[in-house]
Amino acid sequence: MADDYKIILFLCNWGPHAAYQALQDSASQIPAEVKMVRIPCTGRINKALLFKSFEMGADGVALVGCESGSCRYGTGTTTSQKNVEDSREILDLLGLRKDRLRLENFLPDESESLLKFLKEFADEIKAIGKSPVTPSPTRKPALEGHELIKQIKQIIAYHDVYACQDCGKCSSACPLTLSGKPSPHVPWQVQLSRGILTLLLYKKASGPALLADYVMTDVHPPSTLRNSFGIYAMY
């Protein structure tokens, strides 16, 4: 059964992911053993994270990134090559076999080559067999239900830490932006700055209350409210 084997695919968000998406769009038969994890860059997956996958029960790990010279961050491909080479040697020393870890690089239009690699790697892992590593049973944190945990959750909810951070990743991958047309997405920081500037130029702000009304209409985070009052006070 496919569920008997677990292969973790760390997939770069840029070139290789476009190839992987093409496989999904065309309903290609991606091996069921492969569990894809989308990452910003293969250079971010250090040796500790690679070994953590095996510790948690992975039978094989594939790190798939951009071709040399096409890495968006410059050194991602080189860094991943070094990490994988070192990790493969350690796997051999541990008796797990270095063949359980592979690194490959693909361009966005190499979807067929990517599919061929995934199938071949899945077959190799099946030939090697299950990993002898038994993952440790999961345990609930000792602090579960503790008052400190409740306070942390309240802080997270209050500051809305999971909200959009306007990192630009979504807009940089947006088809509208890639076509050369202006993106309709305007970061809330820009919206807020425009609003404050308008209030100052026309001198219609009679105090913090009016500014608060503007900020609250766009549902900005509480921290932004405090920063806004500080900016307004300077003028």
23 vs 224, more confident: 23
Q: Is the pLDDT of residue 162 over 50?
A: yes
Could you report the per-residue pLDDT of 117-132, keeping only the tens digit for each? 999 999 999 999 999 9
Q: How far apart are CA 46 and CA 24, in angstroms?
A: 28
Whether 62 has a pLDDT exceeding 50, the answer reads yes
pLDDT band, very low/low/confident/very high, at 141 (cuts 50, 70, 90)? low
Q: What is the DSSP letter of 130?
A: S
C-alpha angle with apex 18: 14 to 20, nearest 5 degrees?
A: 115
Compute and round to an integer the Cα radius of gyration of the chain: 24
**Range 141-147, long-range pairs (CB < 8 A, 24+ positions):** none
Which pLDDT belongs to residue 127?
94
Question: Residues 41, 15: contact at Cβ < 8 Å?
Answer: no
For residue 24, CA distances in Å to 104, 142, 188 come to 19, 41, 33
Residues of the chain with pLDDT > 90: what percent?
50
What is the pLDDT, as a whole number, of residue 193?
A: 60
Axis crossing angle, helix 222-234 with helix 208-217, rounded to the nearest 10: 140
pLDDT of residue 216 exceeding 50, the answer is: no
Would you state the pLDDT for residue 189? Answer: 55
Q: Give pLDDT, residue 101.
A: 97
Instruction: Look up the CATH number of domain 2-128.
Output: 3.40.50
The predicted pLDDT at position 156 comes to 79
Predicted confidence (pLDDT) at residue 184 exceeds the cutoff of 80:
no
**What are 75-106's pLDDT values in tens digits?**
999 999 999 999 999 999 999 999 999 999 99
Q: Are 62 and 102 within 8 A, CB to CB?
A: yes
- Going by pLDDT thresholds of 50, 70 and 90, the confidence category of residue 56 is very high
Instruction: Tell me what the mean pLDDT of segment 216-235 comes to.
Output: 43
pLDDT for 17-42, tens place per residue?
999 999 999 999 999 999 999 999 99
On average, the pLDDT of the chain sits at 79
Instruction: Give the dihedral sign, CA 116/117/118/123.
Output: positive
